[in-house]
Amino acid sequence: MAKKAKRRGRPPGSKNRGSLGNSVAEMDIGQLRKHIDGLQNLLVKKVSEQRAHLQSQLAQLGGYGSKKASAIVPAATPGGKGNRAKPKPKYQSKKDKSLKWTGRGVTPVWMREEMRDTKLTKDDFLIK
């Protein structure tokens, strides 16, 4: 069964057919200027209300974050440099015991060469 195509635009029987456009088109220059000034004043009023509302919410969040979060979560070290321990090696070469690999990143060349043409797998190189 084929899907119906989505209808686009105004639904049939809609009453609002550009009434604002027609009324603006019929206004003279003075009326248009008054209308534009009124809209600009309304816009300024709404923007200031929105800004005040958002600033009050931000102030509440700022107070919440400074009191609650900073007490629980320690501050990050500057520069983002941490002291992480080096991972211990998990794999060791069968031929040369000094060659070791932690298991992170790309498989080392020595391991690939030792596994080539043999039945050895990664598990055979695990350090016990």
Neighbouring C-alpha atoms within 13 Å toward the C-beta of 76: 4
Predicted confidence (pLDDT) per residue in 89-128, tens digit: 999 999 999 999 999 999 999 999 999 988 999 999 999 8
Write the single-letter amino acid at 55. Answer: Q
SS3 (DSSP) at 92: strand
The answer to pTM > 0.85 is no
Predicted confidence (pLDDT) per residue in 54-77, tens digit: 999 888 887 765 555 556 655 555
